[in-house]
Amino acid sequence: MRVAPDIPEHFIKQMETWMGPEARDLVEAMTGRPWRGLRYAAVANPHGSLPAGLAPFLGERIPWTDDGHYLSPGVSLGYTVLHQAGAFYLQDPSAMAVAVALDPKPGERILDLCAAPGGKTTYAALLAARRGGAHIVANDIHRDRVVTLAENAERVGAPCAIVNESPAALAEAWPQAFDAVVVDAPCSGEGMFRKDPAVRKEWHPDAPAKFQALQKDILAHALAVLRPGGRLVYSTCTLNPLENEHVIAWLLEHFPVELEPLPDWPEWSPARSDWAQGRVEMEGAKRLWPHLGRGEGHFVARLRLHEPIAAARRRSRAKAGQSLLSDKTWSAWLSSLLTDVPDAWRQTRVQKTVVFADALGDLAVDGLRILRPGPPLAERKGQVFVPHHAASRLVAPGGFRATVEVDEETAIRYLAGEPLSMPANVAQDASFFAVAHEGFHLGFAKRAPGRLNNLYPRGLRSTRIESLAALAGAAGSSSS
Ligand SMILES: C[S@@+](CC[C@H](N)C(=O)[O-])C[C@H]1O[C@@H](n2cnc3c(N)ncnc32)[C@H](O)[C@@H]1O
């Protein structure tokens, strides 16, 4: 058996105990190249498809997705115009299984409890948008990670609220408030061994048991936010039964929940009933093994809650910021910006000077760390509004009154912060223009004498963006 030099010896022994000779295949698979995936991501245009310019980099479609593809090895697409525009999301193919298992339904209220950096949230938002939308609240306990979560949600136009709280605080604040909750739990990360040497290095024999205790704690709180009949999706990117089958067996034993069988997609193996006291229903949960499929490894289970979990004290329902519902200036400004104003943009909350679409509804917010009550729409400067960069990503092609479609070269200059020359035939009365490439909105520009000033945020500007043609050429020459 070939073994990568730093795969922990104790991990190998442990997996041999669980799996017998099959552990050899698993460990050998970890010496190979990781599988990478790319999926369509623009939530504002959920029925759109991947742009043709990406074709040279794509392999087969990932079977459990409509829009995900394996990515050719050695290609790096993070610094491209279409990535910055939120046209696609780079994600481990096996991680895409989680939103597929969630199977969001129209109008549902969904909490993603461990959401950063946002892979599952953004896919759930896209799948929900294809069915008319859902109300998604994305939470993470770590402040630095929640900032990245907000950036990723903004990039692809996922219209969710972003919260930075402990599961215990949310269980207390939001008892029985959600139709579905996702717990993509912190774990020992054995499914990351192949792609991340740091995870191999940090792994410790005690890690699975320690994480199991944390996972149980998070799950007990997660169930408390679910309405009876609601569903919990539990996932990890680790392979250890202690953090997977054992955790689900514990849930089944201690709570009024039932496992729902997940679909039998190719490369989704049944979870192991022999690792769960012989419970055959465990096979309805799924494992995506790195040696049996094209992905880094995931465990996914979906459970239905039958009875409410004892609710903690209900909090009062203070609002995070004031509503602007009756503000005529706001309505008039929206009509000047958009061809058709979405209802969601009329239900707003204002924090400091920023106007947000309200994604929290009647959820209590007092005492909670709410980073964003919904996607940012505009900044208020006195009685004047300036569109927030994030708002550009929330609107489908053709949705802004004034749009400038630019070629890739101009888009690269725009993303670096350069102004645009004034195009011919622009709307005479427009102050703000959406800047788009291939129908994906990059951001805004503002009319100035003889040109359009660049409103792309300074913190996002980059001079590293490369053209797809150059990348395809480089990939072709390195493989020949
Ligand atoms: C596997 S990652 C989530 C990945 C994310 N769902 C995605 O798809 O991009 C687990 C997350 O759990 C968060 N976490 C760690 N401890 C936690 C706790 N006690 N309660 C809630 N979340 C926690 C971590 O900050 C981390 O972002």
Q: Look over the chain and give the mean of its residue pLDDT values, rounded to a whole number.
A: 93
| Domains along the chain with CATH numbers | 9-305 (3.40.50.150), 328-393 (no CATH), 397-460 (3.10.450.720)
Residue 160 annotated as catalytic: no
Separation of CA 213 and ligand 1 centre (Å): 14
Confidence at 320, pLDDT banded by 50, 70, 90: low
Separation of CA 217 and ligand 1 centre (Å): 13
- pLDDT at position 480: 42
Among 98, 114, 126, say which to mutate for ligand 1: greatest number of ligand atoms within 8 Å of CB. 114
- pLDDT at position 153: 98
Separation of CA 194 and ligand 1 centre (Å): 20
**Residue nearest (by alpha carbon) to ligand 1 atom 6:** 115
225-262 pLDDT, tens digit each: 999 999 999 999 999 999 999 999 999 999 999 999 99
Q: Which atom of ligand 1 is nearest to the CA of 185?
A: 10
358-401 pLDDT, tens digit each: 999 999 998 999 999 999 999 998 878 999 999 999 999 999 99
Among 141, 151, 170, say which to mutate for ligand 1: greatest number of ligand atoms within 8 Å of CB. 141
Q: Is 119 annotated as a binding residue?
A: yes
Which has more pLDDT, 78 or 326? 78
pLDDT over 70 at 50, yes or no: yes
Separation of CA 137 and ligand 1 centre (Å): 14
Q: Is 398 annotated as a binding residue?
A: no
Q: Are strands 298-305 and 226-236 parallel, antiparallel or unpaired?
A: antiparallel
**Residue nearest (by alpha carbon) to ligand 1 atom 10:** 186
Dihedral pair phi/psi, residue 218, rounded to 5°: -65, -40
Q: Are strands 135-139 and 370-372 parallel, antiparallel or unpaired?
A: unpaired
Q: Is 118 annotated as a binding residue?
A: yes
pLDDT over 90 at 6, yes or no: no
Which residues form the pocket of ligand 1, taking CB atoms under 6 Å from any ligand atom? Answer: 114-120, 140-142, 145, 166-167, 184, 186, 214, 218
On the CB side of 447, how many CA atoms lie within 13 Å of its CA? 12
Which has more pLDDT, 427 or 146? 146
Q: Is 184 annotated as a binding residue?
A: yes
Please identify which of the residues 149, 161, 237, 442 carries the catalytic annotation: 237
| 8 A C-beta contact, residue 129 and residue 106 | no
Among 140, 172, 215, say which to mutate for ligand 1: greatest number of ligand atoms within 8 Å of CB. 140
**Residue nearest (by alpha carbon) to ligand 1 atom 18:** 141
pLDDT over 70 at 354, yes or no: yes
- Please state the three-class secondary structure of the chain as a single string: CCCCCCCCHHHHHHHHHHHCCHHHHHHHHCCCCCCCEEEECCCCCCCCCCCHHHHHHEEEECCCCCCEEEECCCCCCCCEHHHHCCCEEEECHHHHHHHHHHCCCCCCEEEECCCCCCHHHHHHHHHHHCCCCCEEEEECCCHHHHHHHHHHHHHHCCCCEEECCCHHHHHHHCCCCEEEEEEECCCCCHHHCCCCHHHHHHCCCCHHHHHHHHHHHHHHHHHHCEEEEEEEEEEECCCCHHHCHHHHHHHHHHCCEEEECCCCCCCCEECCHHHCCCCHHHHHCEEECCCCCCCCCEEEEEEEECCCCCCCCCCCCCCCCECCCCCHHHHHHHHHHECCCCHHHCCEEEECCEEEECCCCCCCCCCCCEEECCCEEEEEECCEEEECHHHHHHCCCCCECCEEECCHHHHHHHHCCCCEECCCCCCCCCCEEEEEECCEEEEEEEEECCEEEECCCHHHCCCCCECHHHHHHHHHHHHC
Q: Is 189 annotated as a binding residue?
A: no
Q: Which atom of ligand 1 is nearest to the CA of 117?
A: 9
**Residue nearest (by alpha carbon) to ligand 1 atom 22:** 114
- pLDDT at position 321: 59
Q: Which atom of ligand 1 is nearest to the CA of 112?
A: 6
pLDDT over 50 at 334, yes or no: yes
Q: Is 53 annotated as a binding residue?
A: no
Q: Is 140 annotated as a binding residue?
A: yes
**Residue nearest (by alpha carbon) to ligand 1 atom 11:** 114
Q: Which atom of ligand 1 is nearest to the CA of 236?
A: 1
